[in-house]
DNA sequence: CGCATTTCCTGGAGGC
DNA sequence: TGCCTCCAGGAAATGC
């Protein structure tokens, strides 16, 4: 499930392959994967050159000349790869963009179709407005900013998963960060003491940075821009480890449901506690 | 407002 | 082997 570290890894891989390249023909096999500006996608992007590739939240952003951008959301099972032009086309490949000078293709494949591609035009200001509903980048948050985001009476995990608040965390990294910070996912965000808030921000940063270093988590479908798996799943301490011992205290990891998501906790390390009443 | 539930979609896992 | 059901989850919509 591509979250921030996976999308960052994909974006970095694409950057190396795409920056400075001019795009050629576009083969759109499933038209409902593309949204945004009207008009034939091919006509809109053919001949444009890739200026920059980066990540915003869980989205890959490919900036093209002429003030237009391709935004790709990988959903659950989306893969963006650059392959030799003649490589066999896998099932559920919805979009191919030829890179003529490199004799390669950018391919977008998404079996479960939770992802999508947006073509945005009209220059940076217009595009910025369209992306303005995305929340803050977790790796850029300061402690005071994080504190202010947490001043709401919401389950902490539900808040962390809310992309309009913080953009980039998904189920895996929420569970891993809450475990490392020893916070119960159902704890109310506005009742966490400052030391817990500090610890949580630190845990989020550490988990995300380690996961980026390991090139993401390949639990099921995730592959990077070169088709390779990530390695961070080997460092998961709670996610997908129901029944196995907590790395800290050996208590069995338990799976509960929070915000409609399966959630993995150590019942001993992550106890629900309420703040003592003020006297 | 917040939270639970449902929807979209498909492949893989497990039951029989 | 084959068929069925269930499950995973990001995000948006709906209901309470």
Summarize pLDDT for A252-270 with one digit per residue, the tens: 999 999 998 999 999 999 9
Contact flag, residue A57 CB and nucleic strand C, below 7 A: yes
Q: Determine contact, residues A115/A73, Cβ cutoff 8 Å.
A: yes
Residue A275: the pLDDT is 57
| pLDDT-wise least confident of A24-38, A171-185, A188-202 | A24-38
Please identify residues in chain A, positions 61-90, with a C-beta within 7 angstroms of any atom of strand B: 76
Distance CA(A134)–CA(A118), nearest Å, equals 15
User: Is A124 a catalytic site residue?
Assistant: no
pTM of structure: 0.94
Contact flag, residue A259 CB and nucleic strand B, below 7 A: yes
In the predicted model, what is the mean pLDDT of residues A196-220?
94
Residue A279: the pLDDT is 43
In the predicted model, what is the mean pLDDT of residues A205-210?
96
Closest-lying nucleotide for A74 based on CA to C1'? C10
Residue A276: the pLDDT is 54
Residue ranges of alpha helices (H) inside A103-188 are: 123-130, 143-149, 156-161, 171-180
Distance CA(A41)–CA(A185), nearest Å, equals 42
**Closest residue to B6 measured CA to C1′:** A260
User: Is A2 a catalytic site residue?
Assistant: yes
Instruction: Name the active-site residue from A5, A8, A58, A105.
Output: A58
Looking at chain A, how many residues does it have?
279
């Amino acid at each position: 499930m591509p979250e921030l570290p996976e999308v960052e890894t994909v974006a970095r891989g694409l950057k190396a392959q795409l920056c400075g390249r001019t795009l050629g023909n576009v083969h759109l096999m499933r038209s409902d994967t593309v949204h945004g500006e009207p008009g034939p996608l091919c006509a809109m992007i053919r001949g444009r050159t890739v200026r920059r590739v980066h990540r915003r939240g869980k989205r890959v952003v490919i900036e093209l000349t002429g003030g237009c951008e391709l935004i790709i959301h990988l959903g659950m099972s989306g893969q963006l790869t650059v392959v030799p032009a003649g490589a066999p086309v896998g099932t559920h490949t919805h979009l191919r963009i030829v890179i003529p000078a490199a004799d390669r293709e950018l391919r977008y494949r998404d079996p479960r179709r939770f992802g999508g591609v947006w073509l945005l035009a009209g220059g940076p200001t217009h595009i910025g407005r369209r992306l303005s509903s995305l929340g803050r980048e977790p790796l850029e948050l300061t402690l005071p900013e994080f504190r202010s985001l947490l001043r709401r009476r919401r389950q902490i995990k539900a808040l962390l998963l809310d992309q309009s608040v913080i953009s980039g965390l998904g189920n895996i990294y929420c569970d891993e960060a809450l475990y490392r910070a020893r916070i119960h996912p159902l704890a109310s965000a506005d009742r966490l003491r400052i030391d817990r808030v500090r610890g949580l921000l630190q845990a989020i940063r550490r988990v995300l940075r380690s996961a980026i270093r390991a090139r993401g988590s390949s639990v099921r479908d995730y592959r990077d821009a070169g088709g390779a798996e990530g390695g961070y799943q080997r460092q998961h301490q709670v996610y997908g480890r129901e029944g196995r011992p907590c790395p800290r205290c050996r208590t069995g990891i338990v799976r509960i449901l929070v915000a409609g998501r399966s959630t993995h906790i150590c019942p001993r390390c992550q106890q629900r506690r309420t703040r003592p009443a003020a006297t």
